[in-house]
Structure 1
């Protein structure tokens, strides 16, 4: 496309993607307010966009990771170990923040009588860990079909190690394939403004925010904890790693990754967005091609907050006394359980009964708490995913810059 394009095409190719997304966001709100029926129909645009992201993400991860490992030179650091430590420490810190917030601002729930939640939660932390293990040894075709990124990573690592002994021509073909898939991903991402427009319009037209009014206090604790982690806790961790002002990087990650994640409500769907952001930040592909899909699975600070806050809300509602040691143990359990949360919308909610079991809360009551979670999910799950996904890029960049400083 020539650079002298005018009108809408000039806006499309010369304006930043973030500004285009903001325009789509505002347009979706306006459409929902003025024409609800049309806004509901516009949801097809959002569905197509999210489906396209989910379709390209597994193939992109498989190819990029395999190529990165196959072409990795001995002696070059991939920074994966410090990134993993940041992921785990960040998730645990988020759970501790949620415990403190729930103790300072206790919330209670109006438990429903007939929760409509069809999926069964895991029975214990052992079952969560067992599920993760089974995902690692999943059939590669099934892993691609189901979006099982742990299984995809396992196969990509195996293929990459095996292909290190392949001929230069084979590795070049793989590199060309990775470039082709990356190009397709960049094309899909360019349609983000239309996708956000459809998602916002349909959500406001069909759900609205009237159902959220009864849970403003609970939402305040949830979203407030997530904002504290995003704007205070995470920057402190990044500063400790890099010894630089963390906020330019923090705000970039929230703007470039958090916005799309907020509306797609899926860490898995946001993987292509994060990979593209890492590329534009100049991070090494050997690092981010592994850390980003891995983070979409185990870096779940927002999920840890959701599990902790909803569990303690149930505890306060039932009048159960939660002492400090038990609350601290809850934060550890929530952090471990969050690592097993599915990277799709609402994935963390089904782990709430696991945490409720620590306090002797019955599964029937716990599932009512889950039902409330789905009611407020239009805000809770969006904010949770924005925190989870943007932090993947943040911690990857922090580890790389810390290594460069050293």
Structure 2
């Protein structure tokens, strides 16, 4: 038994994940009824990540603020401001890109005349945002309310900084324990991925594929926009704001992409990104704040979804619609702000899609139809949207950390080189003075003679 466990640990993670995907897919296709219990492995894995992620974020963020220099004289935020700037630029770019592409390639879909009635009454985004922040800390940990978790952890971390060294050591020990628990869960990830793949295969075979084929143009449009964001826009953001080559950092995103694609949850992928950041020696004061913050407010995939579905609904309802510039601007602003305000709210898109559609005066029965299409495409859309969201969080964090360390190393090298240059100049000056003194002495001796 010990030898099997040792072999399992020595096997590279990517190989274990591929085996898990392959076995889960084969069982789902060949013998789904006999191995239905395999689906529970995926459920247990996702729930384990979802339940440990809030506690991990809470403890690590308190620990990061406790040991940081934020607020001190000449303190450093370790690139956090730059990461937040990249989140904002990425969100705006996703909004502009999705609106531009959807306007150029006007995709329309068949809408039902009598859709299932759903509640699409207006709700205040500001009220929703406040409710997500003002939350009982215990309930926030239980229900995974990350905006409230970030707020409470920040307050507690600020006050823990003013306590004795023993209290700070307790926080450090709790952070180490939470990290080890997460590592144990991630070691069992291949079994969880196997269960998720089994569930996907059985769901795909049990549902009719004709429904998805009806919306193939919509699926292709979403995938094209997401691919442009991942392979073109994000690398440009990294290049402009950090002077780093994003494609050199992308191999580090491999594990994050696999997990986020199958879990369909940025929150559940926080421990994965944290572990990757630790393996890459990312400054903990940056990763423990930037990664959970990105999982909470950075949602380019959701922004693309909101803009795309609103414009598809418009072109399906009125193909010859004359859209004003102000309507485009309003849609872009609404999608960017609302995606951050409603982060963590279950089925939040059901609230955002009607808000975006009403910018173009789309009737309620058409909005209901586009919501049904959104529900039908949930797995495909959520998988790729979460992959874009979570991998972007990690990519920006890695790039900023590398920039910070490179600049710091360059600064140290410059200081060392400056000292060497100064010492060399001093030596050269001393030699020149000695030569001049000897020459003067020789000249004086000759004059005396």
| Pair in the same fold by TM > 0.5 | yes
Are positions 1:399 and 2:400 aligned together? yes
| 1:242 Cα deviation from its structure 2 partner | 2.5
Q: Is the 8 A contact 2:41 2:196 kept in 1?
A: yes
CA deviation map 1:248-287 (0-9, x unaligned) = 213422x121210111011111111111111112111111
Are positions 1:356 and 2:352 aligned together? no
Change (3 A) 1:346 1:117: farther
Structure 2: distance between partners of 1:350 and 1:31: 38
5 Å-filtered alignment, 1:183-222, equals 183-208=180-205, 210=209, 211-222=211-222
| 1:139 Cα deviation from its structure 2 partner | 0.8
CA deviation map 1:121-154 (0-9, x unaligned) = 5726xx2233222222211011111100110111
Are positions 1:160 and 2:153 aligned together? no
Structure 2: distance between partners of 1:200 and 1:110: 30
5 Å-filtered alignment, 1:385-396, equals 385-396=386-397
Change (3 A) 1:192 1:107: same
Are positions 1:136 and 2:167 aligned together? no
Partner of 2:245, secondary structure, is coil
Q: Give the structure 2 partner of residue 237 of structure 1.
A: 237
In the alignment, structure 1 segments of 5+ residues that lack a partner are none
Give the paired residue count. 398
Partner of 2:135, secondary structure, is coil
Are positions 1:16 and 2:12 aligned together? yes
Partner of 1:112, secondary structure, is coil
Q: Give the structure 1 partner of residue 273 of structure 2.
A: 274
Change (3 A) 1:143 1:42: same
CA deviation map 1:33-66 (0-9, x unaligned) = 1123245442211110000001101111111111
Partner of 1:78, secondary structure, is coil
Structure 2: distance between partners of 1:302 and 1:77: 27
Q: Is the 8 A contact 1:262 1:383 kept in 2?
A: yes
Change (3 A) 1:227 1:145: same
Change (3 A) 1:237 1:349: farther
| 1:181 Cα deviation from its structure 2 partner | 0.9
Mean CA deviation greater in 276-285 or 108-117 = 108-117
In the alignment, structure 2 segments of 5+ residues that lack a partner are 408-449
Q: Give the structure 1 partner of residue 341 of structure 2.
A: 340
Structure 1: distance between partners of 2:395 and 2:294: 11
Root-mean-square deviation over aligned CA pairs: 2.1
Structure 2: distance between partners of 1:398 and 1:293: 16
Q: Is the 8 A contact 1:149 1:297 kept in 2?
A: yes
Q: Give the structure 1 partner of residue 33 of structure 2.
A: 37
Are positions 1:90 and 2:86 aligned together? no
CA deviation map 1:386-405 (0-9, x unaligned) = 10111111112222233334
5 Å-filtered alignment, 1:223-372, equals 223-253=223-253, 255-319=254-318, 320-343=321-344, 347-372=348-373
Mean CA deviation greater in 108-117 or 21-30 = 108-117
Q: Is the 8 A contact 1:297 1:341 kept in 2?
A: no
Q: Give the structure 2 partner of residue 108 of structure 1.
A: 108
| 1:236 Cα deviation from its structure 2 partner | 0.7
Larger radius of gyration between Structure 1 and Structure 2: 2
| 1:78 Cα deviation from its structure 2 partner | 3.0
Q: Is the 8 A contact 1:39 1:198 kept in 2?
A: no
Q: Give the structure 1 partner of residue 65 of structure 2.
A: 69
Structure-2-length-normalised TM-score? 0.83
Change (3 A) 1:381 1:80: same
Q: Is the 8 A contact 1:43 1:199 kept in 2?
A: yes
Structure 1: distance between partners of 2:109 and 2:368: 13
Change (3 A) 1:281 1:363: farther
| 1:172 Cα deviation from its structure 2 partner | 0.7
Q: Is the 8 A contact 1:346 1:377 kept in 2?
A: no
